Every structure is written in structure tokens, then in C-alpha cells.
Structure 1
Amino acid sequence: MLTIFFYALVFGFVFCLSPGAVLAETLRRGLLHGFTPALLVQIGSLVGDATWAVIGLTGMALLIQHEAVRVPLTAVCALYLAWLGLRSLQDAWQLPRPDSAPPSTGRNALMVGAAISLANPKNIVYWGALGSALSGIVGATPSHGQTLVFFAGFMLASILSCFLIAGLVNVLRKNASATWQRVSHGACGLVLIYLALLAAYSL
């Protein structure tokens, strides 16, 4: 069980720290409003991660791969990422004032993180692969207990990554010049639009 838990921790950190839409939006929100909104984007993404984890580890990923489900989900993901990318480019063009955050910023950050994660169909492939990897680790079909340990290890790594990433972004915000923030917003915008185009191309 300890081996399964260790592998789950490694997979969790790799998944959460890899570049992608959630990380880009975390950086954008963190540069604008600080630690809490960045953390909330990350926590919101855990909702999607947990959902896809259950789907992947229980074998339901095969159902989600049907065209009738995959195509509209991918289309929604592409449009949403493109919208976030354009907003980030707008922030690069004209930096918002850090103290201009509306009262609902925290709630919006939480919802954005969840929406990005839930709308990303690539998580299906990732968790389907992890389900196979777990079978390879145990050398047989994993039991319910082994699957639960794997899920717990992955979610622990995800929660720790939330605080780590938000903390690093907050440090960058406090020490970043206006020019650096413009470059960061622009880079995040381009990454988000690129991911949107990749999603659209997969259709």
C-alpha cells in the first residue's frame, strides 16, 4: 500500500505542476489579486481532478469517449480557454489596478478553476492511463482498497501543490515590475489561446 501511495504522490505532483490552462489562469489571477484568488483557482481545479479521477479509476472513461459526449465537451473547453486567453491579453495591454478586484473575485476564481478542469477532455485520457498504470503497479486488477489509497495519495499531492503554486505566484507578484507583469499576462494569454486551438483542432 505504501508503494501505491508513493506512486500516487508522484503522479499527483507531476499532474498539478505541469504547464497548462489551470497553471496559466492561476498565474494571471495571482498577479492581479494575490495569494487567495490564485489558491482558489487551484482548489477549484481539484473538483474537476477528483471527478475525472473517479471516472478514470472506475473505468467509466470509455463511456465519456463517445463522440456525442466528447465533441461538445471539447468545443466548450476550446471556447472557454479562448475567452480566458483574450482576457489575459487584455490585462497585458492595460494592467488592471491590484485593488480594483470586485467582492466576488474569490468565488469567481473558484468557479473558473473548476470549469477549466471539468471542461478539459484531455483529463479523460490522463486518468484512463493512470487506471492502467495502477493495474501495472499492483500486477493485477486493483482492489477497492488499493484504488482508494491511490486516489488519496493523488489528492494529497494536489492539495499540497495548490498551496505551493499559489505561494510562488504571490512571491512573484510582490517582486515583479509592471513590465514583467505585462509579459506574464501576455504569455498566459498566448498559452491559453494555444490550448484552445489545440482543443478545437482535435475536433
Structure 2
Amino acid sequence: MIDPALLSLLTASFLFGLSFNAAPGPVWAESLRRGLTGGFAPALAVQIGSLVGDATWAGLGLLGASLLIDSPGLMSLLTLGGGTLLLYMGAQGVRDAFRPHAEATPRPIIGQTRGALLAGAGLSLGNPQNIGVWVALVGVMPSLGLATPTARDLGWFFTGFMTASILWCFVCAGIIALAHRNFSPRAQRLMTGACGGFLLLAGLGVLGDWVRGML
């Protein structure tokens, strides 16, 4: 019989993983932007790439690496890199929205997928705020009946989170693939432009925070 405490922990971590990944954000927007022209594969690649960053920040947070948050130089560098990447991808989205559909023909699938993987990883790794979420989460684990979480508890929590994250990758890519197949070229271009605009605004917001932090 499954330990009720373990089942509760896995359920909580699984639900947290779904809510964490399904929340609209840059990774969602980039997945949609690439999937609208390339379909399922590039959308999935962005999502899979983002797991690299998710797993990194989750592992550091669960291990109690809150010292990273207290390292202004490192946080500043990551913020600058993440904001710059957002601006670059946003500019690509706006550019593609103004291209005739024939010119927006996707590249060969291998190169397209490689670029999408790197984009997803870059967006996730360039968001150091995620580690703050995990450090805070460890602090509320006593509410789950884990007053002093053991390495085993943290391992199971990480497993539940990553299981939900992997599942969401395919759900998200499937939704985007439906849009790719059923939306008109004009609608796809409009949505691509909207994604690009969202990424530009997100990048400006991140860099604005970086500038204020430097003053």
C-alpha cells in the first residue's frame, strides 16, 4: 500500500508542476511562435529545452542554494542575458509577422528543432527568479507534513514536478499543432506578431528591472 504521506507529496508536486508550466509566459509564447510555422516538433522542442532550466533551478532550490539569490553579480548577469534573449526572440516574431507567408517557410526540421531546443533552454536558464520560487517552496513544505524534509522527500517532490513538466510538454505542443493545422496563414501571422510583441515587452521589463537594480 502506498504511504499516504508520499502520495500527498507526489500529488502536490505534480499539481505544482502543471501550474508552474501551464502559466502563460515567455516559454509558452516562444513555443507558440515556433509551432505556428513548424507545427508539433519545434513547439515540443522549445518545451523540452525549457526543462533543462526548470530542472536546474528546481535542483538548486531544493538543495537550498539560496546563496545564489544573494549573489548580486550572478543574478545581474543572468537577468541581463535573459532580457537580451527575450528582445532578440521578440524581434524575430515581429519580423516574421510582416513577412509574406511564402517567405516564412520553416527551415529543415533538424535545424529548426535544434534552434527551438536552445531557445527553450535559454529562456528557462535566463530566468533566475525561478530559484526564488523553489527556495520559498521548500519553506512551506511543513504544510505538507514535512517539517524536516529528507533527501528522499525532496527526490520524490522533484520526480512529481518533472513528471508533470514532461507531460505538459506534449500537451502544450499538441494544442499548438492544432492551431498550426487549423488557423489560416493570416491568423498565424497575427498570432506570431502577438507572441513577438509579448516577448519584446517581457524583455523590456526584465532589462528595466536590471537597469533599476544597477542604479
What is the TM-score with the length of structure 1 in the denominator? 0.95
Say how many residue pairs are matched.
203
**1:17 matches 2:38:** no
- Verify: 1:151 aligned to 2:158, yes or no: yes
Aligned counterparts of 1:142 and 1:4: Cα–Cα separation in 2 = 11
- Partner of 1:202, secondary structure, is helix
Large movers: runs of 4+ above 2 Å: 61-65, 95-100, 133-136
Whichever residue aligns with residue 14 of structure 1, its letter is S
Gaps of 5+ in 1: none
More off after superposition, 193-202 vs 84-93: 193-202
1:44 to 36, 45, 49: 49
Residue pair 1:32, 1:96 contacting (<8 A) in 2 also: no
Q: Structure 1 41/165 Cα, relative in aligned 2: closer, same or farther at 3 Å?
A: same
1:80-119 correspondence runs (5 A): 80-95=85-100, 97=102, 99-102=105-108, 103-119=110-126
Residues 81 and 193 in structure 1, CA contact (< 8 A), matched pair in contact too: yes
Other structure's SS at 1:120 match = coil
Give 1:202 deviation, angstroms.
Answer: 1.8
Greater Cα offset, 149-158 or 65-74? 65-74
Percent identity over the alignment is 42
- Retained in 1: the 8 A contact 2:101–2:185? no
| Aligned equivalents of 1:25, 1:198: Cα separation in 2 | 17
How far residue 201 of structure 1 moved from its aligned partner, in angstroms, is: 2.1
Distance 1:192 1:95 in 2: 21
In the TM superposition, what are the counterparts of 1:163-178 in structure 2 within 5 Å? 163-178=170-185
Q: Which has more radius of gyration?
A: 2
Deviation digits for residues 123-160 of structure 1 (CA, Å, limit 9, x no counterpart): 12222222223243224121111101100000000000
Q: Which amino acid aligns with 1:197?
A: L
User: Given the two structures, how large is their TM-score scaled by the length of structure 2?
Assistant: 0.90
C-alpha displacement of 1:99: 4.3
Q: Secondary structure at the match of 2:140?
A: helix
Coordinate RMSD, CA, aligned: 1.4
- Counterpart of 1:101, as a letter, is R
Q: Secondary structure at the match of 2:54?
A: helix
Between the aligned partners of 1:147 and 1:138, the Cα distance in structure 2 is: 13
